Amino acid sequence: MLNASQASFFSLAAYLDSGLFRYLCFLVVVCLYVLILGCNVLLIVVICVNRTLHEPMYMFLCSLFVNELYGSAGLFPSLLIQTLSDLHTISAPLCLLQVFIVHSYGAVEFLSLAVMSYDRYLAICHPLQYNSRMTTTKIFWLIAVSWLYPSCAMFVSLSLISPLKLCGNSINKVYCDMHSVVKLACSDTALINIYGLCATFSTILAALLIILYTYTKIFVVCFSGSSQTRQKAVSTCTPHLASILNFSIAGSFEVSQSRFNMSFLPNVLRIFLSLYFLTVQPLFNSVLYGLKIFLWKKCL
């Protein structure tokens, strides 16, 4: 038996032996990755060079787009290599790095969406006090916390995973995730399971409480306010709510895959569901907010 940090490689068992079909899959993955890279980088550049977009909302969007690039970088290079490979193995250090990126990406995404809901709350419910409340210092700390907390939490998780004694090295997915690695352990996993549950619960609970509180206040103001207030709320909150809904659905797919037996589903569908939050969300956000920025600039 080896420690997780001492294993030389892990086998990714969910890949299909598709023959020549692999080249079509490779082309689809390449096109998707290029789209994600192009859209997110373009929007980051537009926000950075356009002074009219140097507002808190767009600073938070910029952080969100950087996170989409970060999460995609943790998946797509490996996915492209594995699609054309016959062995479908990944070295242990790269597997643990992928675990770190995938899980921290998900936490940063949810916390960033929560921060953006707080920003919309201030803009709609306290418009006269918005500039005094949403200062540059506050923007910096909100973005910093949404990135630092998941990173610190994942460093602790990896330090708990590394000493685990493994009884195998086969992961039934197309990428490495923490639950799949922990399931391979034949030593006591109580500590990592409790810590993982607490870290996940605290992240989700904190983000959900912020989102529910802010949108409750926004809806109250909309129903009691003027038509102009309602129009402003609809135009600014609709893309954000759509992003939250899409990511929540994607996260539910991933949790279902990890925690429950989904063997009754076709293998191709299980692969798609496990990849949804790492492939669809980065493109969905960039297209959604890209259209919003384009329409906003066109109205100026």
* Cβ 119 vs Cβ 56: under 8 Å: yes
pLDDT the model gives residue 85: 83
pLDDT the model gives residue 109: 95
Domain range list for the chain: 2-299
Q: Give the model confidence (pLDDT) of 260-284 as tens digits.
A: 666 677 777 778 888 888 899 999 9
State the Cα torsion 56-243-257-180 to the nearest 10°.
-20
Examine the pLDDT at 298 and tell me if it is beyond 60.
Answer: no
Q: Which has the closest alpha carbon to 68: 26, 112, 20, 27?
A: 112
- Give the residue with greater pLDDT, 8 vs 240: 240
Highest-scoring range by mean pLDDT, 62-66, 190-194, 267-271: 62-66
Residues contacting residue 119 through CB under 8 Å, at least 6 positions apart:
56, 57, 60, 134
pLDDT the model gives residue 299: 46
Structure tokens at 279: 């492939």
Average pLDDT, the chain: 86
Q: Tell me how far CA of residue 41 lies from CA of 111, 139, 158, 273, in angstroms.
A: 21, 21, 30, 26
pLDDT the model gives residue 300: 44
- pLDDT confidence of 293, banded at 50, 70, 90? confident
**How far is the C-alpha of 104 from the C-alpha of 151, rounded, in Å?**
6
pLDDT the model gives residue 193: 86
Report the Cα–Cα distance between both ends of the chain, in Å, rounded: 65
Q: Which of 67-71, 140-144, 224-228, 293-297 has the lowest mean pLDDT?
A: 293-297
Examine the pLDDT at 74 and tell me if it is beyond 80.
Answer: yes
What pTM does this model have?
Answer: 0.91
Tell me the angle at which helices 227-259 and 92-125 cross, rounded to the nearest 10 degrees: 160
Q: Give the model confidence (pLDDT) of 193-241 as tens digits.
A: 889 889 888 998 999 999 999 999 988 888 776 777 777 777 778 888 9
Residues contacting residue 125 through CB under 8 Å, at least 6 positions apart:
217, 218, 221
- Give the residue with greater pLDDT, 188 vs 4: 188
Examine the pLDDT at 1 and tell me if it is beyond 90.
Answer: no
* Cβ 186 vs Cβ 203: under 8 Å: no
Examine the pLDDT at 36 and tell me if it is beyond 50.
Answer: yes
Assess if CATH 3.40.50.10800 describes domain 2-299: no
Judged by DSSP in three states, 110 sits in helix
The owner of tokens 């540059």 is: 136
- Interval 182-203 mean pLDDT: 87
Q: Tell me how far CA of residue 150 lies from CA of 121, 174, 272, in angstroms.
A: 24, 23, 25
- Interval 146-158 mean pLDDT: 94
Examine the pLDDT at 148 and tell me if it is beyond 90.
Answer: yes
**How far is the C-alpha of 215 from the C-alpha of 209, rounded, in Å?**
10
pLDDT the model gives residue 243: 92
- pLDDT confidence of 102, banded at 50, 70, 90? very high
